[in-house]
Structure 1
Amino acid sequence: MFCRRAVKEDINDIQDIAVQSWHDTYEGLIPREIQDAFLNKAYSYERMEERLEKNNVFVCEKAGHVIGFTSFFHESDTSAEVSAIYVLPGAQREGVGSALMKHIWAHMQNVEELYVDVEAGNEKAENFYAMLGFTLQQEFDEVFEGHTMRTKRLRLTAAEACQQAI
């Protein structure tokens, strides 16, 4: 497995991973038409070009194929948020997510706190982040593409990340 910064040539792979992992993850949590409306907007080719220029987007490859991606942005000088982390359903539970988290943590300078928002009921993500040492900070209702859902904001400090060897 090899993680690296994403480039334009990765956009089609990122789009495919987003669609496959969203449909796998959010089936039963978010109606399919809402998923697709969001994916079409957030992962359009133009939006992805913009993300690659302005954000920190990384991919993970295995045997020359992109199998996962992640992105983060700085909320402040000392805090950041994971805005996406998705792995092809067939490659999950093989350490790809952990490798991506280690990779982005290595690219965050002076970050003392890392946040991520997870939809309530997304047990795979909740378990993944708990394994990494994230703790629940708050829960709130969020309107997403006209659909109300419960969101959990999780937090990991740099000290906790060191303990977990991220």
Structure 2
Amino acid sequence: MTIKKAIPNDHKILTEITKKSKAHWGYSDEQIEIWSQFLTVSKEYIETKSVYNLIVEGKIIGYYSFFHESENTIKLDNLFVLPDFIGKGFGKILMNDFLDRMKNSNAQKVILNSEPNAEDFYIKFGFVKVGEMETSIKDRYLPIMELKINRIGEIENA
């Protein structure tokens, strides 16, 4: 198992992982299609954001991506694992790798918009809900979450 930086040609497999992972939470094929533009990972996205793949037995099974939203704030934009690997610790491996990278950065906080079904996953890593964002589905809101990082690089509970 390795985690390595994605290359632009990974865009199709990363889009497939994103859509399949999202569908895992019970969203219909029609809803996934409506969200397609938001679930598509382009070559340009990989070229301009920090994207890291989780590779098991030569196959990409998950990934995460992030970017600087401001000088001191990192946005964790995506963290997805293929459905067959959900609940087996691979999301934790990706999150720990991401957090290790944050310890070595100048970031003071990490923010993300969580899939509602994944909110508890992020809470386990010390993220706290700081708001909500309305979605295109009636009465569905994305938790806006935050994790503070102190000056010596340790992760804090907010």
Could you tell me which of 136, 161, 166 is aligned with 2:129? 136
Q: 1:43 Cα deviation (Å)?
A: 5.0
| 1:60-108 CA-partner distances (Å, limit 9, x unpaired) | 0111110001111111111111111110111112222122222233434
Mapped pair 1:111 → 2:101? no
Mapped pair 1:32 → 2:26? no
Q: Structure 2 regions of 5+ residues with no counterpart? A: none
2:58 and 2:8 mapped to 1: Cα distance? 16
Q: Secondary structure in 2 aligned to 1:137? A: strand
Mapped pair 1:126 → 2:119? yes
Partner of 1:21: 21
Q: 1:5 Cα deviation (Å)?
A: 0.6
**Count of equivalent residues:** 152
Mapped pair 1:155 → 2:146? yes
Q: Retained in 2: the 8 A contact 1:82–1:115?
A: yes
1:161 and 1:92 mapped to 2: Cα distance? 27
One-letter amino acid matched to 1:33: E
| Percentage of pairs with the same residue | 24
Given the superposition, is the C-alpha separation of residues 119 and 86 from structure 1 closer, same or farther in structure 2, using an over 3 Å criterion?
A: closer
Given the superposition, is the C-alpha separation of residues 75 and 128 from structure 1 closer, same or farther in structure 2, using an over 3 Å criterion?
A: same
Partner of 1:100: 94
Q: Retained in 2: the 8 A contact 1:133–1:161?
A: no
1:161 and 1:34 mapped to 2: Cα distance? 39
Higher helix fraction: Structure 1 or Structure 2?
Answer: 1
Q: 1:26 Cα deviation (Å)?
A: 4.6
Q: Secondary structure in 2 aligned to 1:52? A: helix
Partner of 2:68: 74
- TM-score normalised per structure 1: 0.80
Q: Retained in 2: the 8 A contact 1:15–1:43?
A: yes
Q: Secondary structure in 1 aligned to 2:24? A: helix
One-letter amino acid matched to 1:115: I
1:154 and 1:64 mapped to 2: Cα distance? 33
Q: Structure 1 regions of 5+ residues with no counterpart? A: none
